[in-house]
């Protein structure tokens, strides 16, 4: 790995990363909102956020494909324009689903940023639009995805971007009905081709041998998602280089 890429990765290692911002879904700063991101910036934490595409091809910041959990409306983000999305408030707060562009303007390079691409729809279209939105951003950022296809697209089309492969133990937390597919995704077989700069893995399975294998073979960093207590963080810190947290304030 080049010194330039390692320098960017080191920025993520020196701060805890606030999962979906420093949020509280029961108060005024719910997940993946501008206010939650600003509170993370004020506290000096890095930020992890999720992006996907809405009906009129704009990149919005939201984790769920449906509005049911966050807005109490049984509608899909892909079926609504951004103007329509903007009518709904998140968890009864004054916050709405933000555009990635306005989120980038608000964060303004003040802290490192991890952008997770959600790929329910055409992964290539989401990748293209996300990379385009980030092309003029001057802050430190990386892009990650559970989809090996998305990570591979980044390697081919934007090799300059720091990329991360998200994964889980899908032999336990099933991804599909195919045991072969679950095994391949669990062990990140596509890393042979995609060569991610880091692996973001469910911290509960930090003892998986595949993590140590890829770290040795690729020289990649390991990122833990998502620790929710100080005890979990202390355990994860012994294995992982980058730590994503929510639901508590790290010591």
- Burial class (CB within 10 angstroms; exposed 0-12, middle 13-18, buried 19+) of 180: exposed
- Nearest Cα neighbor of 139 from 166, 165, 162 is 162
pLDDT score for 2: 83
Q: Residue ranges of the alpha helices (H) in the chain?
A: 3-13, 34-43, 68-71, 82-85, 100-107, 123-134, 148-157, 179-186, 191-194, 209-218, 230-236
Residues 7 and 196: their CA atoms lie apart, in Å, by: 15
* Backbone phi, psi, residue 180, to 5°: -70, -45
pLDDT score for 119: 87
The dihedral through the CA atoms of 179, 183, 188, 191 has a sign that is negative
pLDDT tens figures, 176-230: 899 999 999 999 999 999 999 999 999 999 999 999 999 999 999 999 999 999 9
The H-or-E segment that residue 64 falls in is: none
Residues 9 and 65: their CA atoms lie apart, in Å, by: 29
Q: What is the 3-state secondary structure (H, E, C) of 121-168?
A: CCHHHHHHHHHHHHCCCCCCEEEEECCHHHHHHHHHHCCCCEEEEEEC
**DSSP structural state of residue 211:** H
For residue 122, pLDDT beyond 90 = no
Residues 88 and 70: their CA atoms lie apart, in Å, by: 9
∠ CA 165-8-46, nearest 5°, is 80
Q: Mean pLDDT over residues 93-117, rounded?
A: 97
> Mind listing the domains of the chain with CATH numbers?
3-245 (3.20.20.190)
pLDDT score for 120: 72
pLDDT tens figures, 65-103: 999 999 999 999 999 999 999 999 999 999 999 999 999
Asked if residue 9 lies in contact with residue 197, where contact means CB atoms within 8 angstroms, the answer is yes
For residue 1, pLDDT beyond 90 = no
Q: Mean pLDDT over residues 44-57, rounded?
A: 97
Residues 111 and 90: their CA atoms lie apart, in Å, by: 24
5: three-class secondary structure by DSSP: helix
pLDDT tens figures, 125-184: 999 999 999 999 999 999 999 999 999 999 999 999 999 999 999 999 998 899 999 999
Q: What is the pTM for the complete model shown?
A: 0.96
103: three-class secondary structure by DSSP: helix
For residue 241, pLDDT beyond 90 = yes
């Amino acid at each position: 790995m080049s010194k330039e890429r390692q320098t960017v990765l080191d920025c993520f290692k020196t701060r805890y990363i606030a999962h979906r911002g420093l949020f509280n879904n029961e108060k005024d700063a719910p997940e993946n909102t501008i206010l939650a991101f600003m509170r993370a910036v004020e506290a000096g934490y890095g930020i992890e956020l999720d992006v996907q595409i809405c009906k009129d091809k704009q990149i919005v910041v939201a984790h769920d494909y449906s509005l049911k959990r966050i807005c109490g409306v049984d509608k899909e983000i892909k079926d609504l324009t951004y103007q329509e999305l903007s009518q709904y408030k998140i968890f009864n707060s004054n916050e709405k689903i933000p555009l990635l562009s306005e989120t980038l303007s608000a964060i303004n390079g003040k802290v490192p940023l991890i952008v997770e691409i959600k790929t329910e729809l055409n992964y290539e279209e989401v990748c293209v639009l996300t990379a385009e939105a980030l092309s003029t951003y001057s802050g430190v950022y990386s892009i990650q995805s559970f989809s090996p296809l998305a990570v591979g697209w980044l390697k081919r089309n934007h090799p300059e971007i720091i990329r991360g492969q998200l994964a889980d133990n899908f032999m336990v937390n099933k991804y599909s009905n195919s045991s072969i597919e679950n095994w391949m995704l669990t062990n990140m077989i596509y890393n042979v081709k995609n060569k991610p700069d880091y692996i973001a893995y469910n911290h509960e399975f930090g003892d998986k041998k595949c993590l140590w294998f890829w770290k040795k073979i690729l020289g990649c960093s390991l990122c833990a998602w998502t620790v929710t207590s100080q005890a979990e963080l202390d355990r994860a810190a012994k294995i992982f280089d980058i730590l994503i947290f929510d639901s508590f304030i790290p010591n």
